[in-house]
Amino acid sequence: MTNRNTLFALAAIAGLLATANLALGQGRGGGRGAAAARTGPPPETEPGIPVNDALTIAKCASCHAKDDKGNLSRISWIRTTPEGWQEAIKRMVRLNGLTLAPADARLIVKYLSNSHGLAPEEAKPVMYMTEHRIQDEVIPNESVKGTCNNCHALGRAFQWHRTVTEWALLADMHSALYPQAESAFRRHGAGRGGAAAGGGAAANIAGGAAGPGAAPATPNAAAPPTAPVSLDLSLDFLGKSYALNTPEWAAWKARMRAPKISGKWLVSAHVPGKGQYSGEVVITPGPADDEFKTTAKLQSASGGPAINRTGTGLVYTGFSWRGRSRSPTLAAKAAPDDLGHEMREALWISPDQTTAEGRWFWGEYSEFGVDVKMRRATAEPQLLTLDKASLKSGSTAQRIRVIGNSLPAAVKAADLEFGSGITVKSIISHTQSEIVATVDIAADAVSGKRDLVLGSAILEGALVVYDKIDYIKVLPEASLARLGGDEADVHPRGYQQLEAVAWHRGADGKLRTPDDIELGPLDVTWSVEEFFAVMGDDDKEFIGSLDAKGLFTPNIDGPNPQRKFGRNNYGDVWVVASAKDARDKDGKPLTGKSYLIVTVPTYIRWDQPEVSK
């Protein structure tokens, strides 16, 4: 007699196989066999986005069937970032046998990003994924957390816009390819519970019940109907919040235009551990209308030699800059944090093409980065940045540098305005790009952000006035470094740059509330303390070293015969920043802590979606 559990397993496997045919590119009538046609997803009820590019049709239509409206199955009901489309193409190559020359792949990514991309308003909230930036994500509900966030960042899903059917097919693909996903879907809810429901989530959306061949219900196989976590709830949320057809996309399709960004751009940049930089980027036309060449020159606000860089870039969807640049004079054995290294660039250009912001980053794990803001240079005076982020009330004769462009030939002290309580005493020097002045801060000056005004030019939030430093944050507040080998090792180290930032309590007088004000980087002494996880913890002795600038260099990987049981050099510690000049109510130096995990290298890189020139 056949065991009942065996029947359940066979039924589940049959469902997974059917789902796999759907998920791996078979699509609406585009399958390569009768089984795919029988178990295909329900017809789309939403209008798709026709595919009009001859190359894309030639390379994709053999699997993605074309209908009489010019839609290609699956593709016409999806929108995403350039990185998303590149990832999708890589998956087609790995799993479906697609053969594609690199040049053709780049052209297809460019076409799909332009015609099936995101609007600027849709892309900006998830730019941190493209920028490879550490980010605390806002989790919309427990269901999405349980079905999506347990395995990957939410931004990985939120970079995509799909129809309801397509979101369900994505769940089916997860069930087919990743057993842990199927387990999570089944554990957290019934209904459209992944591939085990025969025809899969898409079939359940259409019919409201399990498809043919569904496995019988078993005790405790699904969460109670009132459970806050279920695949149903997650798919409902994604279908509504990240739909294919949105007002933002409709508006952007109407107003999208070719990027006209050649010319001089002013740059203000913050480099963690190194401070504020400013300068210019000159953008010149490249071989195509959306491709460009760049020449950049940046100068540290604290002095030192200028940084010169050259590079290339291209613009997707009218606003998404992806590029690479490097210093032509980079030393052969440059330090890991040297600003001359080749950097990847991800920038969000404003729809009016007058400003841009984003991150330039480098490192084996993209751990080093420059936070960049850019604006077009004009003939009118422009204020770019200051060399100081904050000044204390009651301080006098403070020297401050105002950096800008097309500044007036003649500048008087009265021309610079910082608001009440700040008096500009003198102008020490001035050029077309810089004004050096001295200022006094009244003892009773109101704490808070101040705008700088010079004639018609305004720099909002240019300077913060404060009465005292109330606490320190060490950023990132939780971070990760990776062990590695020597120069000949195939597993490079993953470094971690930390930075101590001073904060003011804000108008409500309470610490760590939304109105608190950031005062900028603080001069500190760095140290490492043990994070006691077990008795006799000794991680700080083996994990690596921290320099005076907050750069953590991990140790080589092990095993280490000096450690108990010959363990590797992994561990977790507190990184502590102690202020040199700021003290608490007891007269002790203010301190801040960050939790640092030092772990093994990433030995296998499954995929690295990168889109750039």
Q: Is residue 361 located within the same domain as residue 461?
A: no
Could you tell me how far CA 359 lies from the centroid of its own chain? 9
Residues 427, 428, 434: CA angle, nearest 5 degrees: 85
Same domain (yes/no): 268, 243: no
Nearest to 455 by CA among 343, 351, 380, 506: 380
199 burial level (CB within 10 Å; 0-12, 13-18, 19+)? buried
- Rounded CA gap, 101 and 104, in Å? 5
Domain membership of residue 49 (yes or no) is yes
Domain that holds residue 279: 263-376
Specify if 40 maps to a domain.
yes
Does residue 257 belong to any structural domain of this protein?
no
Distance CA 500, CA 594 (A): 10
Structure tokens at 14: 């049959």
Give the per-residue pLDDT at 182. Answer: 84
- Number of structural domains (the chain) is 4
N- to C-terminal Cα distance for the chain?
A: 63
**Domain-embedded: residue 119:** yes
Retrieve residue 518's tokens.
């950031």
The domain boundary, picked from 466, 494, 509, lies at 466
Residues 495 and 573 in one domain: yes
Domain at 556, CATH number: 2.60.40.10
CB burial readout 352-386, b (16+ within 10 A) else e? ebebbbbbbbbbbbbbbbbbbbbbbbeeebbbbbb
Crossing angle of helices 200-207 and 4-21, in 10° steps, is 90
Which of 466, 491, 511 lies at the terminal end of a domain, its last residue?
466
User: Is residue 118 located within the same domain as residue 32?
Assistant: yes
> Which tokens go with 604?
């296998």
Whether residues 561 and 498 fall in one domain: yes
Pair 479, 518 in one domain: yes
d(CA 10, CA 198): 11
102 and 151 both lie in a single domain: yes
178: phi then psi, degrees, rounded to nearest 5: -125, 105
What amino acid occupies position 42?
Answer: P
Give pLDDT tens digits for 186-204: 765 444 433 333 334 433 3
Q: Give yes or no: residues 396 and 336 share one domain.
A: no
Within a domain: residue 508? yes
Is the bond into 120 cis (omega within 30 degrees of 0)?
no
Query: What is the spatial distance between Cα 315 and Cα 114, in angstroms, rounded to a whole number?
Result: 9
- The count of other CB atoms within 10 Å of the CB of residue 583 is 12
| Same structural domain, 58 and 200 | yes
Residue-level pLDDT at 112: 98
The answer to whether 222 and 121 are in contact (CB under 8 A) is no
238 and 370 together in one domain: no
Q: Is 211:201 a contact under the CB 8 Å cutoff?
A: no
613 assigned to some structural domain: no
Write the pLDDT tens digit of every residue in 408-439: 999 999 999 999 999 999 999 999 999 999 99
Mean pLDDT of successive 10-residue segments in the chain (613 residues)?
Answer: 34 36 37 38 86 97 95 97 95 91 96 98 97 92 91 95 96 90 69 37 33 33 52 94 98 96 97 95 97 97 90 98 95 92 97 98 95 97 96 97 95 95 96 96 96 96 96 96 81 95 96 96 97 90 96 93 91 97 92 97 68 50
Alpha helices in 458-606 (DSSP H): none
- Tell me if 580 sits within 8 A of 524, measured CB to CB: yes
> Are 118 and 177 part of one and the same domain?
yes
Look at residues 375, 540, 523 and name the one whose alpha carbon lies nearest to residue 458. 375
What's the pLDDT score for residue 349?
Answer: 98
CA distance linking residue 85 with residue 117, whole number of Å? 9
- 408, 431, 466 - which closes a domain: 466
What is the rounded CA–CA span in Å between residue 50 and residue 43?
16
Query: Does residue 236 sit within a domain?
Result: yes
Are 364 and 411 contained in the same domain? no
pLDDT of residue 5: 37
Here the CATH number for the domain that contains residue 322 is 2.40.128.120
